[in-house]
Amino acid sequence: MQELRDRPIRQKITFVIMTIAGVVLLLAFAALFCFQAYTLKQHSVHELAVVGQITAHNCAAAVMFKDEDAATQILGGIKTMPQIVSARLELIDQQRLAFFGAARDETEIKAARLKSGFRINGDRILLAQPVMLSGTREGTLYLLADLHAMTSQLLKLYGGVFALGLVASLLVAFVLSSQFLRFITDPILRLAGTARTIADHNDYSVRANKVCGDEVGVLTDAFNQMLAQIQSQDSALRKAEEKYRLIFEDAIE
């Protein structure tokens, strides 16, 4: 931070502008990503509900006749959906009729013990869909979806777009700041140059040119007023020195 304080004012202002642009862009992309992730999850919930209703309807006969082969074949039809990682079809007494997926997925399904509806845990969505036959519940279909892969792809996509957007925005911010900063820094640099000239030559007759009416303009007026006072005092001091020198020379003669 101390190193930044010692940098020229143009560089400090440019750094602040580019930092703000980068932070604002990051927050905007973060908000957009969160919204897209939420939308993806809501869409997946709706899609899972539709698949669950259709599959449960198709499984009704297999549940009634306890046909494991037919139930397994029906569940095999939803394996093509990449977000569904596991499915379990059980009878009304919670006996498993058909299943596909990993053992830990089945453990998660059994531990949830949902009667119906959804349970969302991070990127994993569990649906419990009752299997109905003639208005009577004959079993339950469980579908477990994992959105981690889709969320990761979304994150990579937004990460790439953010990187490109960050480079482009910082480049534009740098070019625009370089063009517009002169309206802020040039009056200050001119004032600093005038002060340096006065310090090098001890010439208090030099005045800074006022180019704007803002705070820098007020500072320029105050600076010129201070120079006028110093010049007046310096002139008076020189006259006094000359007067006493003449008096001293007359006294010697």
Q: Tell me the per-residue pLDDT of 12-30, one tens digit each, with 9 for 90 and over.
A: 888 888 889 899 999 999 9
* Alpha-carbon dihedral angle through residues 226, 230, 231, 234, given to the nearest 10 degrees: 180
Please choose, from the candidates 70, 116, 76, the residue with its C-alpha nearest in 3D space to the C-alpha of residue 97. 70
- What is the rounded CA–CA span in Å between residue 171 and residue 52? 50
pLDDT of residue 250 exceeding 80, the answer is no
pLDDT of residue 72: 93
Tens of pLDDT along 89-138? 999 998 999 999 999 999 999 998 899 999 999 899 999 999 998 889 99
The residue-averaged pLDDT of 191-197 equals 84
Q: Is 177 helix (H, G, I), strand (E, B) or coil?
A: helix
Q: What's the distance, CA 13 to chain centroid? A: 22
For position 102, what pLDDT does the model report? 93
**What pLDDT, on a 0 to 100 scale, did the predictor assign at position 183?**
76
- The CATH fold assigned to 9-153 is Beta-Lactamase (3.30.450)
Mean pLDDT computed over every residue of the chain: 87
Which of 77, 70, 101, 97 has its CA nearest to residue 87? 101
pLDDT at 253 (0 to 100): 60
**pLDDT recorded at residue 34:** 92
- Output the pLDDT for position 2: 62
Question: Percentage of residues in the chain with pLDDT exceeding 70?
Answer: 96
Nearest to 142 by CA among 67, 70, 85, 103: 85
Domain definitions of the chain by residue range: 9-153, 182-252
Q: Which long-range contacts does 5-9 make (Cβ < 8 Å, 24+ apart)?
A: 9/185, 9/188, 9/189
Task: Tell me the HSE value of 59 on the side-chain side, using a 13 A CA sphere.
Answer: 36
